[in-house]
Amino acid sequence: MTTNDSLNVRRQAATPRGVATATTVFAERAENAELWDVEGRRFIDFAGGIGVLNTGHRNPLVMQRVNEQLDRFTHTAYQVVPYEPYVELAERLNALAPGNTPKKTLFVTSGAEAIENAIKIARAHTGRPGVIAFSGGFHGRTHMTMGLTGKVVPYKKGFGPFPGEIYHLPFPMPAHGVTVDDTFKAMDRLFKADIDPARVAAIVIEPVQGEGGFHIAPTELLQRLRTLCDEHGIVLIADEVQSGFGRTGKLFAVEHAGIEPDIITTAKSLAGGFPLAGVIGKADIMDAPEPGGLGGTYGGSPIGCAAALGVLQAIEEGKLLERSTEMGKRMIARINRIAARNDVLPIGDIRGLGAMVAFELVKAPGSMEPDPDAAKALCARALENGLLLLSCGVYANVIRILVPLTAEDNVLEEGLGMLEKSLSDLAVGRVAAE
């Protein structure tokens, strides 16, 4: 029988250590919020392929569209022979994106590629070089997106130099004493000390930081950024790669703040497990690059576009935006109850927007001191207990939940039970070690 151990030996010999894996188990099959490994063990999936599976593994509506498309054709290259699913998906997203300004959408293959293209488009539109991003932000692993990313280890270490004209500002974190005013003070200083706002093409922000620790951009921040961008002709880009597609109770998290970004980047749950990303933007901005300046061989693959149309149907028919809000409330209430116990690992700030929920592990009850070792141990213990769980955060001490929004109530509760047990197992272990 193929075992996880034997596959891990082959993995280590055949693939570079840079592609680190969060777990030691190999997938055999998966359905909705459950996954089975090659040894037949069942896991509840709170990782969702890092936010890709808001509609679950192998959602029937997604699979149906994909199978129909597979029977017709798999690839023509949109730039050679275009096809309807690309255009239909663009029309749907243009209509669904926040705000009344007419929109156009470009499809590419990964989240990083979406950001790369958003920057290209913003520079072509403004004729300016500068880009402002935020500390703790994550935008991908290509050179431009590494440069924009505000976390050094493991994303940037050893990979520089990065493209020039990238600047970082503090991201507000109320629980850690960083306010919206602090961000704007840093912005003032940036405009005085480093770059004239008239040379800034774009500001890129995650409405809820993903890898950075699920910090939620305050409404005031997004609204003030909108005003500032309007004042200076700067393109405001909302990176919704992780926060989008229903995760926060809205199709796009930025809708909570009631603003219309100039460009939205989307990927991950857009196509429910198939590689597709999109750049949705105001039509006049999107049309700035010359014909032929955008695209890519696989960009907007017909399979990905078909899958995304199935995802939209699943979100609508399953009322998944309402479901996301309800799941989020339920998860936060349960984590608060767990945190109140005095026989579990110490939990610090608990936060969430819809079902984009996270909590911090800290050194002691009531302290804010991050405990990355506890987060690592918790994910390992959760795996032993049958739960796929991910950490994140600049200090690697945040536990994030990206469970499919389609997870059945009993599966969600079972997963939360496994989380609680893991937090308590480790606390018992700690007491025993003392």
Site for ligand PLP in 138-167 (CB under 6 A): 138-140
Mark residues 17-56: x for contact with ligand PLP by CB under 6 A, - for none.
Answer: ---------------------------------x------
Q: Which is nearer to ligand PLP, 45 or 206 (CB)?
A: 206
Question: Which two three-digit tokens encode residue 64?
Answer: 């149906």
Strands 200-205 and 235-239: parallel
- At which residue do the structure tokens 């705000």 appear? 99
Determine phi and psi for 325, rounding to 5 degrees.
-60, -45
Please give the Cα distance from 403 to 390 (Å, whole number). 11
Q: Which is nearer to ligand PLP, 52 or 362 (CB)?
A: 52
Question: Which two three-digit tokens encode residue 421?
Answer: 């047990």
Closest CA to 148 of 184, 181, 120, 186: 120
State yes or no: residue 206 binds ligand PLP (CB under 6 A): yes
Q: What is 1-23 written as a DSSP string?
A: ---HHHHHHHHHHHS-TTS--S-
- Ranked by CB distance to ligand PLP, the top (closest) residue is 111
Cβ(101)–Cβ(287) below 8 Å:
no
State yes or no: residue 271 binds ligand PLP (CB under 6 A): no
To ligand PLP, the closest distance from the beta carbon of 213 in angstroms equals 12
Q: How far is CA 150 from CA 145, 322, 326, in A?
A: 10, 32, 32
To ligand PLP, the closest distance from the beta carbon of 185 in angstroms equals 25
To ligand PLP, the closest distance from the beta carbon of 67 in angstroms equals 24
To ligand PLP, the closest distance from the beta carbon of 211 in angstroms equals 6
Of 133-141, 286-294, 391-399, 423-431, the segment contacting ligand PLP by CB under 6 A is: 133-141
Q: Which is nearer to ligand PLP, 253 or 312 (CB)?
A: 253
Cβ(397)–Cβ(371) below 8 Å:
yes
Of 6-14, 134-142, 195-203, 316-324, the segment contacting ligand PLP by CB under 6 A is: 134-142
Of 22-30, 162-170, 234-242, 303-311, the segment contacting ligand PLP by CB under 6 A is: 234-242
Closest CA to 302 of 47, 88, 51: 88
Site for ligand PLP in 78-117 (CB under 6 A): 110-112, 115
Question: Which residues 6+ apart lie within 8 Å of 198 measured at CB?
Answer: 128, 232, 233
The three-class DSSP label of residue 411 is helix
State yes or no: residue 267 binds ligand PLP (CB under 6 A): yes
| Chain positions contacting ligand PLP, by CB under 6 A | 50, 110-112, 115, 138-140, 206, 210-211, 239, 241-242, 267
